[in-house]
Amino acid sequence: MASRRPIFLDLFVIRLPPAALVSILHRVSGALLVLAIPWLAWLMGRALSGPEGFAEVASILDHWVARPILVLVLWAPVHHLLAGLRHLALDLGLGLERTAAQATARLTLLGAAGVVVLLVLLLRVLA
């Protein structure tokens, strides 16, 4: 017997619930962390090689292309940590109710964004 439910497959219109978005972004942030390791290791090694290397790294990081990449590199560990703590709490049976799960998902998204904004502002003040 065929289902009478409508099929809606436009992926650009489907609205994911906050918990699904947090879960997907948790995976994305983990992958980004792994992919950023070689670049960050090279930058660190170059910056520590001497004054010329430090100046080179400073000029690379001052470029407009590097700014969004740096924000993503700041966002990835923050989001990954908050989402990981949320998943750990869910595994322990905490926050499984629908309203609590939605609230913690929104809190994770807003918390990660808020911490990144604070870090960017702090880095601007210290620079």
Residues 6+ apart with CB under 8 A from 83: 22, 23, 25, 26, 29, 108, 112
Whether 80 has a binding-site annotation, put simply, is yes
Gap between the Cα atoms of 60 and 79, Å rounded: 25
Contact 114, 75 (CB under 8 A): no
Binding residues: 80
Query: Which residues belong to the annotated binding site for heme?
Result: 80
